[in-house]
Amino acid sequence: MSVFEREIVVRFEHCDAAGIMFYPRLFALVNEMVEDWFAAMEHPFSALHIDQHEGVPTVELEAEFIRPIRMGERLTQSFRVLHIGHSSCRLLHEARVGAELAARFEHALVFVDLATMKSQEWPLNLRAAMTRYEDHL
Amino acid sequence: MSVFEREIVVRFEHCDAAGIMFYPRLFALVNEMVEDWFAAMEHPFSALHIDQHEGVPTVELEAEFIRPIRMGERLTQSFRVLHIGHSSCRLLHEARVGAELAARFEHALVFVDLATMKSQEWPLNLRAAMTRYEDHL
Amino acid sequence: MSVFEREIVVRFEHCDAAGIMFYPRLFALVNEMVEDWFAAMEHPFSALHIDQHEGVPTVELEAEFIRPIRMGERLTQSFRVLHIGHSSCRLLHEARVGAELAARFEHALVFVDLATMKSQEWPLNLRAAMTRYEDHL
Amino acid sequence: MSVFEREIVVRFEHCDAAGIMFYPRLFALVNEMVEDWFAAMEHPFSALHIDQHEGVPTVELEAEFIRPIRMGERLTQSFRVLHIGHSSCRLLHEARVGAELAARFEHALVFVDLATMKSQEWPLNLRAAMTRYEDHL
């Protein structure tokens, strides 16, 4: 099992007029994690979307926001893979400020052919790479 | 009971390299509905955030994405109020393309003092206005 | 000559932690004007980009920001066409709050084949429609 | 003289339905450079905006887009300081893909009191730090 993790500084642009992170931008940061994960597994989004006309749209998201996230704070984002299905997977994301859990998401995405938007089976090498991050908790 | 509703055209900017709506932008559109609702209830976000230093951060969100949303499609966004608590409320948002349900969100937000980020009771006139949109299904 | 114009309310999402419009979002609003213009000329961006694999990328932009734009203000956006070239055009955008000029942009865009990113001549019917907005000042 | 520089990978989110960077997002990336610069000069945007109620809004921007920027490309952003005024400064930003210049911006920003939005003199220590990046070309 391996956790995918990064640390970012909360930027001016992430924050709203209240000086706290605007939640749609946290979802964009969550999506960046998924993008980095696919790149680390040698399926970068550029090849996936542009060359292969495949994508991984989000089909479900359950989010809990526990603590406001403020400009300038260091945010640690991490996720683990809860489940890998035939053509989908389920991730558990966490965002922490220091030791405090700030937000938590369960996130299901599905592997699709962009032409038809139908789900399709994960390629074997991608699936093998994904399992290295799997963690049944 | 009253449903809050609007129709928009899916813009170039809402879409990703796959030509479908990027889901963090759908959350921004959901937030616009909440902003319009508060304006309709005579608590515009500018007065709320800037003058009164109060806000309504999202604390929970459960989203289901049922069908891709494509550039140029007409999207009907609506929500109803499922529950009004002491200092929070729970909304059910739907996004449709024609007759087809494209996405569905349950959304809990809380009324806070921005200085302390502590929840506080809804003002009476705001709460009275909110109840006009309440719908226990 | 015809001026293309719309009025919007400055949204929560357009504003930064200072409560004023974050300038990259004003460029997104400028781009919406161009998108609406192409739709009004019966070349909607969805058909242009997805079906015809053509686009109108920005090649030059000169912007002047004269007055801050605040959340809740009504912003009037307008533009006129300064010049139509073989495969490009030059627009003059203005953004006003009431009678006050808030920002002003000169904006050159070019008509391209997205596969090659090479410029190509405007289609005759599109060019004819564009000239109806031309204004040499 | 010192050039401020960073390299990023062009993300899924930066790109539009044509698979190339949407220009308002390049301005957001330019703004991140300015934010990182102020942090490097020990005036982080969080302290500046939230604690001191000061800001550095953009007052002029001249942009030239020379080459499309594509998803997955490595983008090198750099800037140098062309001029430091009493309460303003002028930056020259460049964005390169490998050896190729992709975009170029001249960017003027001004130091203001956010309460009045009036310009004010740069603090001495900040001005001294800024001059280390100055380059009259």
pLDDT in tens, B42-83: 999 999 998 999 999 999 999 999 999 999 999 999 999 999
User: Quick one: three-class SS letters along D73-97?
Assistant: CEEEEEEEEEEECCCEEEEEEEEEE
Distance from CA of D33 to the nearest CA of A (A): 11
Instruction: Tell me the residue type at C111.
Output: F
Cα–Cα distance for residue pair C90/B108, rounded to 1 Å:
46
Rounded Cα distance between B30 and D110, Å, is 34
Contact between chains at A71 and C17 (C-beta distance less than 8 A): yes
Instruction: Give residue C18's pLDDT band: very low, low, confident or very high (50, 70, 90).
Output: confident
Alpha-helix runs per DSSP H in chain B: 23-40, 45-46, 124-131
Q: How far apart are CA D83 and CA B52, in angstroms?
A: 40
- Average pLDDT of the residues in B16-34: 93
Is the predicted pLDDT of residue D1 greater than 60, yes or no?
A: no
How many Å apart are CA C89 and CA C133, to the nearest integer? Answer: 11
Q: Is D106 exposed, middle or buried (0-12, 13-18, 19+ CB in 10 A)?
A: middle
Residue of C12, C19, C45 with shortest CB distance to B71? C45
pLDDT > 80? residue C132: yes
What is the rounded average pLDDT of the residues C28-38? 96
For the beta sheet containing A112-113, the strands, ordered from the edge strand earlier in sequence to the opposite edge, are: A54-55, A112-113, A118-119
What is the nearest CA distance from A66 to chain B, expressed in angstroms?
A: 7
Chain C touching partners, 3 or more CB pairs below 8 A? A, B, D
CB C77 within 8 A of CB C6: yes
Residue C107: predicted pLDDT: 96
Q: What is the pLDDT of residue A121?
A: 98
Residue D13 has a pLDDT of 94
**Per-residue DSSP letter, C70:** B
Residue B93 structure tokens = 């948002």
Say yes or no to pLDDT of D137 above 80. no
Scanning C27-86 for CB atoms below 8 A from A yields 71
Instruction: Kindly report, residue by residue over A28-42, the tens digit of the pLDDT.
Output: 999 999 999 999 999
Helix (H, G, I), strand (E, B) or coil at A53: coil
State pTM to two decimals.
0.93
Weakest mean pLDDT among C105-114, D14-23, D53-62, D102-111: D14-23
First to last CA, chain A: 10
Q: Do B28 and C49 touch (CB under 8 A)?
A: no
For range A67-83, the mean pLDDT: 96
Residue C26 in contact with residue C97, Cβ under 8 Å? no
For A72, which of D9, D46, D71 is closest by C-beta distance? D46
pLDDT recorded at residue B136: 64
d(CA A47, CA D55): 40
Distance between CA B107 and CA B125 in Å, rounded? Answer: 22
Once rounded to an integer, what is the mean pLDDT over residues D66-83? 96
Q: How far is A134 from chain C (nearest CA, A)?
A: 36
Average pLDDT for residues A112-125, to the nearest whole number? 95
Q: Place D63 in a pLDDT band, splitting at 50, 70 and 90.
A: very high
CB contact under 8 A, D65 and C58: yes
Report residue A102 as tokens. Answer: 């700030």
C-alpha dist (Å) from residue C64 to B104, C39, C60, D63, D122: 41, 27, 14, 12, 21
pLDDT of residue B135: 80
Read off the pLDDT band of A135 (50, 70, 90).
confident
| Chain A environment of C24 (Cβ under 8 Å) | 13
CA D107, CA D50: separation in Å to the nearest integer?
24
**How many of the other CB atoms lie within 10 Å of CB of A118?**
10
Query: CA Rg, chain B, in Å?
Result: 15
Relative to beta strand C4-9, strand D74-84 is: unpaired
Residues from chain C that touch D17, judged by Cβ atoms under 8 A, are 45, 49-50
Q: For the residues C117-121, what does the mean pLDDT come to? A: 96
CA distance D10 to D42: 28
CA distance linking residue D46 with residue D35, whole number of Å: 10
Q: Mean pLDDT across the stretch C107-135?
A: 94
Tell me the chain A residues in contact with residue C19 when contact means C-beta distances shorter than 8 Å: 17
What was the pLDDT predicted at C75? 98
